[in-house]
Amino acid sequence: MSPTFLEVAMYVLIFSSLLCLDRIGRGPTAPDRAISIDTLGTIMIGFCCIMALWPTPTDSPSASPFMDYYMTIAIAWAIISFIGSLALAKYLEGRCYDA
Amino acid sequence: MLETIALWLFGIGLAFDVLGCIGLVRLPDVYNRAQASTKCVTLGTTMILVATGLFGVGGNWPLFIKSILCAVFLLMTAPVGAHAICRSAYVSGVKLADVSVEDAFTQRARTIRAEHRQRAEEIERNLREVEKSEEAEA
């Protein structure tokens, strides 16, 4: 994997997370913001994938070519994001706010 | 060969992510936004995960196993979370956009709201009984 491709991928994901942040900022209702936070969490897993493929400095002989502990972070992030969105849904249900 | 497939998967996944987020910004109401963002972003991130796993095939199997595990988990859970949020949004009365043509969930949502109200009244009644008994003790 060439570093240039990874940099472009990073910029693309940064652009999408900025769009998500826009919706979090001006979403007219609370569920809008909840959905955007969920989406942002999913995009963060993509960031973790890019970091897992990022080439490591090779001056130390024992270094692995991949930083694959980032995939562990991605799994943990997926679990926590799922539980968080379920908790948000349960919290929002039955509350009346104006649309 | 495997690397070419992985690069294509990575690129298509990124395109899906961006398109989903554009849908999140441009569509008119919560349900449309949830539809766009959840479907596109889930599929895109799953593709990115699978591509990451393909880079680990032959030599770095832990990366492969973790990526596939994360992809399966994401495919199972992300739609469930978005569905729960949309359902709670409808039950708490977020309106559909003006251009919507059909709404099949009205009746069921009314039932759910009635159940909520019943439960709230029950709790209130119990609280009042507790207050009364405390006053009687005093």
pLDDT attached to residue B101: 86
Domain segments of chain B as ranges? 2-96, 104-138
Residue of B nearest to A67 (CA): B63
**Cα separation of the two ends of chain B:** 83
Quote the minimal CA–CA distance from A3 to chain B in Å: 12
Instruction: Collect all residues with Cβ–Cβ distance below 8 Å to B95 and sequence separation of at least 6.
Output: A99, B29
- Closest partner residue to A19 among B22, B49, B94, by Cβ? B22
B54 vs B106, which has greater pLDDT? B54
CA B75 to chain centre: 11
pLDDT attached to residue A99: 42
Query: Per-residue pLDDT tens for B50-61?
Result: 999 998 887 788
Which of A16, A66, A81, A88 would you mutate first to test chain B, the one with the most B CBs within 10 A?
A16
pLDDT in tens, chain A (99 residues): 677 889 999 999 999 999 999 999 987 888 899 999 999 999 999 999 998 888 776 665 555 666 778 899 999 999 999 999 999 888 887 666 544
Q: What's the mean per-residue pLDDT of chain A?
A: 84
CB contact under 8 A, A16 and B34: no
Question: Measured between CB atoms, does B13 come within 8 Å of chain A?
Answer: yes
Place of tokens 């109200």: B117
